[in-house]
Amino acid sequence: MRTAIVGVLLVMTVLAQASVTKKAYGKMPDGTPVDVYVVKDGDIEAHIITYGATVVSLTTPDRNHKSADIVLGYDSLDGYLSKGNPFFGAIIGRYANRIASAKFPLDGKTFNVPQNDGPNSLHGGTKGFDKVVWEGKALADGVEFKYVSKDGDQGYPGTLTAIVRYTLKNNVLHIDYSATTDKDTVVNLTNHSYFNLSGAADILSHELKLNASRYTPVDATLIPTGELAKVEGTPFDFRKATAVGARINANDEQLKRGKGYDHNWVLDSSGKLAEAAEAYDPASGRVLQVWTDQPGIQFYSGNFLDGTAKGKGKVYGHRSGFCLETQHFPDSPNHPKFPTTELKPGQKYHTVTEFRFSSR
């Protein structure tokens, strides 16, 4: 027994010298093992598990070089498996965001997907990519996750092979998404991390800038109406850095429908890798810049967090974290004028998002 323990310690010591380490994180109810990959570069460290390809921890320094975890999450796998998990840190698919009436047309047929958000389908259905164990593989400066979603999975056509690579270098967490299919399908992948750059009770004092002149207004069930509305003169104008809480309670119908911000912004960058958003916490000095080549970004101000989720020694109350989900527009399969999310055999879905960290 003593020899076995020494052996384990030696292995851990060797791994600790590398930039990427792999450890056991837990087991699924059916016994499937779940691993965590620890990726460290300088003062930044990311912990990512194979369940949902989920970022469970992301440690960055403040202006005084004090490091803290800036993402919401749970203490163990049990939390991530819980029914109330609000997609903390996970990869979302096959289709991120909402699909109206849980159905969409493709190639002259109507495909039905699970209703799990009122009349609509949200984040891929009742068992989306956030609720499966991905195959993990260590890279030189990160980790690659692979998941094969079979034809008919959650009602979506085609066997989709998705690969997500997280790499950490020079204060940038780079997320590379790719996918291929054997039948015509739709795909829209994103990361659903909740950020709080200060660790304070809420994120209302965070200052946010969104490089978007338009956004997609929604109906009462948070489905886009199809309009690309101007942000000018509305509480949705974040072209200049503005505190999240400055206008969140304004007498605005869109804010009432979302119970705050839960909308897609139409990015001005039009398909090239460019800065989409910047969040700044005046208390800590932490800065998060989001760069992407996607056409949209969903800013969600944590409106449905209600104190039932608890993790990392905290109770996650109302607006205790925010999401910046790079994406194609919600419900695009039902809006022919939106940028298409269709993927055909022989084509490759590929998109890049970067979270860039600094302080000031």
Identify the residue whose tokens are 């919600």. 330
The span from the first CA to the last CA of the chain, in angstroms, equals: 51
* C-alpha span between 127 and 95 (Å, rounded): 12
* C-alpha span between 196 and 202 (Å, rounded): 8
Q: Which residues pair with 125 in a beta bridge?
A: none
Cis upstream peptide for 94 (omega within 30°): yes
* C-alpha span between 274 and 314 (Å, rounded): 34
Write down the catalytic residue from 174, 192, 206, 263: 192
Q: Give the strand order in the sheet containing 349-359.
A: 135-139, 142-149, 160-169, 172-181, 349-359, 286-292, 274-280, 207-210, 242-243
Torsion sign (Cα): 138, 144, 150, 153: positive
Write down the catalytic residue from 206, 325, 328, 354: 325
192 is catalytic: yes
Instruction: Determine how β-strand 342-343 pairs with β-strand 185-186.
Output: antiparallel
Total residue length of the chain: 360
Nearest by Cα to 185 from 121, 293, 105: 105
CB count in 10 Å sphere of residue 36: 21
SS3 14: helix
Q: Which residues pair with 39 in a beta bridge?
A: 20, 46
List residues with catalytic annotation: 192, 325
